Amino acid sequence: MPESKPYRLHPEVWLEIEAADDWYLERSADASAAFIAALSDAFENISQAPERWPKYSYGTRRFVLHRFPFSIIYLDDPDVVSIVAVAHSKRKPRYWKARL
């Protein structure tokens, strides 16, 4: 199995994760934990095979979470996977473009 590529999160991604997790936590601690676990698994899957997920907009790729209405938008750079957004699927399309 090939070695995982390191990944880094754009600083605003942390704010997106925190806001979404706060929303889930207000409703259920289990939902919050499941959301964080899904993100963690997704980041690991992306770092292991970043080319696996389809090309998206502006040279990015997109990993769609199945259990939650979010997509992970990232750039597959030569030495690192740059995660530019954890974007809600029904809000502000391509708002993250300025982060590229």
Instruction: Give per-residue pLDDT as tens, 5-41.
Output: 999 999 999 999 999 999 999 999 999 999 999 999 9
Instruction: Give per-residue pLDDT as tens, 65-88.
Output: 999 999 999 999 999 999 999 999
Ordered by where they begin, the domains of the chain are 7-91 (3.30.2310.20)
Query: Residue 78: how many CB atoms within 10 A of its CB?
Result: 5
* Cα distances (angstroms) measured from residue 92 to each of 2, 40, 79, 95: 36, 24, 30, 6
User: 70-76 and 81-88: which strand pairing?
Assistant: antiparallel
Q: Terminal CA-to-CA distance of the chain, rounded, Å?
A: 30
User: 61-64 and 70-76: which strand pairing?
Assistant: antiparallel
Instruction: Give per-residue pLDDT as tens, 55-71.
Output: 999 999 999 999 999 99
Q: What is the pTM assigned to this prediction?
A: 0.91
